[in-house]
Amino acid sequence: MITIHDKKFEVYITESEIEFAIEKITQKLFDDFQDETPVFIGVLNGSFRFVAQVIKNYNNNCTISFVKVASYHGTENAAIENLIGLNEDIKDKHVIILEDIVDTGNTVEYLKAELKKQEPKSVKIATLFFKPDVFKKDIKIDYVGIRIQDKFIVGYGLDYDGLGRNLNDVYALSENN
């Protein structure tokens, strides 16, 4: 049990389980994009560690960019603001969005629509964590690392009000708060 700000969290998924799941995603990406040079687009801040781990194992041509979509504060969902930081030309390229977690799907839905405006050859979504019970969108999540229950998690890049991104394991909000 650990405390972050005012809340107690318990270990939920270990670093080795996470990295095993990322290896499987990376293998699928490698198989699917073998003869291409895909553009990986990491969604900051939460995905930095997921992106680093994918790239570490992805032994083929690729480019890497990061964008930011302001969409979440604390433990409450908030409205999506906007997309910042896409400097790379993605026209006619295969794009893979790398997200830390897909919850309602608002963020990836918005992002996919924004990226499509630039006429890439394809846009796929890869997420490290996925909450199937919360997700309500009619879009495909192409690559999923780990499906989780509807819990608030921190660690491995994800934060609770700025803290916890440096934790190596993932922690879930405890029921004893």
Report what 168 binds from ligand 5GP, Mg ion, none; CB cut-off 5-8 Å by kind.
none
Choose, from 103, 133, 138, 161, the residue flagged as catalytic: 103
Residue 103 annotated to the active site = yes
* The one segment of 20-28, 29-37, 95-103, 118-126 that binds ligand 5GP by CB under 6 A: 95-103
Please give the structure tokens belonging to residue 33. Answer: 């994009």
| Tally of helices (H runs) and strands (E runs) in the chain | 3, 12
Minimum Å distance from CB 102 to ligand 5GP?
5
Could you tell me which of 91, 90, 89, 110 has the C-alpha nearest to residue 99?
110
- Is 33 or 105 the residue whose CB approaches ligand 5GP more closely? 105
Minimum Å distance from CB 47 to Mg ion?
6
Residues 94-153 within binding reach of Mg ion (CB under 5 A)? 100
Residue 164 makes CB contacts below 8 A (sequence gap 6+) with: 4, 9, 154, 155, 158, 171
Q: Which residue has the tokens 């199937």?
A: 132
Assess 152 for contact with ligand 5GP (CB under 6 A).
yes
CB 15 within 8 Å of CB 168: yes
